[in-house]
Amino acid sequence: MAYRELLTRPVLTWSAVALAARLPVAMAPLALVFLVRERPGGYTLGAVLAAAYVIGEIVAAPVLGIRLNAERARPHLAIGLVVGAVGFAGLGLAADAHPVVLGLLAFLAGAGPAASPGALRALLTSLVPEKAVTQALSIESVQTFVIWALAPALVSGLALGVDPAVPLLLQGGLMAASVAGLWALPPGWRAENQEQGGEPMRRVLLRAWPVYVMGAGSLTLLALAELILPALLEQREIGIGWAGPLLAGFSIGSAVGAFVYGLRSGWPGRLPVQSLVLILGVAAGVALMAVLPSAGTIAVALTLAGILQAPAMLTRNLALRQILPPSALAAGYSVMYAAVGAGYAASGSLAGGLLAVVAPSTAILFGVGLTLLLTAIGAVGERRIESAGQPAAQPTAPARKVRR
């Protein structure tokens, strides 16, 4: 299945809606920092607001995802995105409000649309043939990393060149536009086995816990790369201005890796093995970043890590399709979203605490150790599930025929 065969009207429409819904999410943490940075203790307040936003995402994603009706997803998505738009617009309009008010608005902006990433992913895979799912998820990943590469520059330019409230107002407008775009897409997706054979949804989702753990382990590496890199550059006596280009290289590498992974419908090895190898490769790249002496060598290590990072996450999403029934996929993607957010937050907290007592390079190596621990737990869990002979909901028989 060539990428050009995905250039259909429904997929292009989905891409526009996803861009409008996800760009505000990528802009949010930095936009919150810029919003309050000129207040006394502004950077600390900005970090607290960003934390409130992320907590809103982590808490709400699994709760809302479980309640999502696959075949009538549009109203659920619309309400969540409207709540997010109101939260962002409120932050922009009430920039001078009390910190508690800003914190509540930030939590609301994160919680409202928290189920939309998983639901949009499930909707995308329903718009393409089964044999094109890998390519569709690859294109989604490419779009995501491009968005995350562009968002910091967009926020910085608007906040410094116009007004700190403008990025938040733009985020609210984009999210509201995504609500209108939902009516150009199907109202939901067909979900066979809606009742999961009578098994409660929570038990069905718990079945995939090793996938969530390995996904969280993968995102801890991204947190290390983003949060400790400036301190590492200072330790190496490299200009801190290199942080932006180096992280851009990581994002560009990830977009390239996602595209390359989608060039084939199947790669050698089972998905759990692919995930394990890819995550170990990313861990090796981040560990090299901690010990290499120059900006050029760090750039090479980060770019190579980025190339492997996107396929690592893609294999986790494909693994969910094997374990969960169609009716639980959107909820499973939402739980994954919460898990990787929790992994990012945990790694960031660990890194922040370690930087107070050890050198940045040592803090990175500790973080890599945390990733390896989570990866080992997830790999053992997946192995036990396979040994127990648990049946997978995907791929279906027709899908296997296509892959042969």
Domain boundary residue among 188, 215, 234?
188
- Which range is least confidently modeled, 54-68, 257-271, 346-360? 346-360
pLDDT at 194: 46
Q: Tell me what percent of the residues of the chain surpass a pLDDT of 70.
A: 93
- Which range is least confidently modeled, 147-151, 208-212, 388-392? 388-392
Structure tokens at 2: 């060539």
Structure tokens at 394: 């995907």
User: Same structural domain for residues 220 and 157?
Assistant: no
Residue 315: φ, ψ to 5°: -65, -30
- Please say whether the beta carbons of 209 and 338 come within 8 A: no
User: Same structural domain for residues 210 and 118?
Assistant: no
**Distance between CA 217 and CA 344 in Å, rounded?**
8
CATH number at residue 84: 1.20.1250
Residue-number span of the structural domain to which 49 is assigned: 1-132+151-188
Structure tokens at 236: 């190496």
In a domain, 140, yes or no: no
Domain count, the chain: 2
Q: What is the pTM of this model?
A: 0.83
User: Same structural domain for residues 265 and 343?
Assistant: yes
pLDDT at 57: 92
